[in-house]
Amino acid sequence: MISPERPARDIHQVVEAIVEQLTTLPDSQVKLRFEIEAEVPGGLDRAKVRTLVENANTLGFVEKSIE
């Protein structure tokens, strides 16, 4: 799990400790998947949903689901 308080630090550690080790192996093919799960008890208004979907599209997220 990546900490939502310091995600850049945690992701950087994963890249250094794992991803870089794998990508240096001959003929390796490495894929990374990034999944975000959030619960918002009060729900999201339409403007926030639109912003999140637009940002996900811009960043190249394949699957986008906001319920």
Q: Express each pLDDT in 23-39 by its tens digit.
A: 999 999 999 998 899 99
Nearest to 30 by CA among 38, 40, 41, 19: 19
pLDDT band at 2 (very low <50, low <70, confident <90, very high): very high
Compute the distance between CA of residue 38 and CA of residue 56 in angstroms, rounded to an integer: 14
* In the chain, where the domains are located: 1-32, 36-67
Cβ contact 22:28 at 8 Å: yes
Residues 36-55, mean pLDDT to the nearest whole number: 94
Residue 11 per-residue DSSP state: H
pTM of the model: 0.71
- Report pLDDT for 65: 81
Residue 47: pLDDT over 90: yes
Compute the distance between CA of residue 53 and CA of residue 56 in angstroms, rounded to an integer: 5
Mean pLDDT, the chain, rounded, equals 93
- Report pLDDT for 64: 79
**24 by DSSP, 3-state: which?**
coil
